[in-house]
Amino acid sequence: MEMGNFIDFLMRWIHFFAGVTWIGILYYFNFVQTEFFKVADASTKSNAIAQLVPRALWWFRYGALFTFLSGLALAGFMGAAVNVYITIGMLLGTLMFLNVWLIIWPNQKTVIASAEQVLAGGEALPAAAGALAKAGLASRTNTLFSLPMLFFMGASGHLNGMGRSLVSSLSSDNGVSTLAFAIALLIIAGLQFNAIKGKAGPMTSVVGVIHCGIGLAAVLLVVLEFL
């Protein structure tokens, strides 16, 4: 057994395990918990936020951390094998990781503290509603990003196309053009800016965010392959 091959496989196993944990809980939050909270009574919701959510968020944020770190390790081992598809996937994954630790978790701490105060007989924290909205928008954006992220991660090794090469020139004759790559980055940057300052829009519903995610994957693929 070659040590380099074993380390590469180990990093992939950690990446898969952490990624399944992270994205699985992301989908639980967005597809199950959020919809339940819409119909739950105030007492049930406060109990869940104070006792269930912190446990789920622990696995959520550390799943994100280990997915990110193992991904960086894999990128180091892959070297020249990094192509446009995997670069787009890595960018989306990195933004998702940052959203978890810089937006979702800090705001959820405020929401949890507010629920704990309510259960103790006090009043909800004034900042809780705004914090919940910020965390919710970032979480919806991560769900949006997750579909093209998973698509391009898989495409990097299994889909034949221009994205299997590196960025070439303004022409797309030998691979993804610089223009196409720049447009893809601008689209992603715009959506990330919306995650910080914008609104959920059609992502408010489960069906809406799934459709938006599929649409984003399709748009990015068309841009990379045909511009």
Polymer length of the chain? 227
Q: What is the pLDDT of residue 141?
A: 98
What's the Cα-to-Cα distance from 161 to each of 48, 93, 219, rounded to whole Å? Answer: 46, 21, 15
Q: Domain range spanning residue 117?
A: 3-226
Angle (CA) 198 63 220, round 5°: 45
Q: What is the pLDDT of residue 76?
A: 82
Selection from 58, 50, 40 nearest residue 122 by Cα: 50
> Which amino acid, one-letter code, is at 74?
L
Mean pLDDT by 10 residues, the chain (227 residues): 79 94 98 95 92 97 97 78 89 98 98 92 91 97 98 90 68 74 97 96 96 98 92
Q: What is the pLDDT of residue 227?
A: 84
Calculate the CA 122 to chain-centre distance: 35
Task: Please state, in angstroms and rounded to a whole number, the distance separating the CA atoms of residues 63 and 26.
Answer: 10
86 and 153 Cβ atoms separated by less than 8 Å: yes
Residue found by looking up tokens 């391009």 in the block: 152
88 and 220 Cβ atoms separated by less than 8 Å: yes
60 and 26 Cβ atoms separated by less than 8 Å: yes
pTM score of the predicted model? 0.93
The encoded tokens of residue 32 equal 């199950």
Q: What is the pLDDT of residue 163?
A: 78
> Which amino acid, one-letter code, is at 125?
L
Domain count, the chain: 1
DSSP string, 102-123: IIIHHHHHHHHHHHHHHHTT-P
Q: What is the pLDDT of residue 121?
A: 87
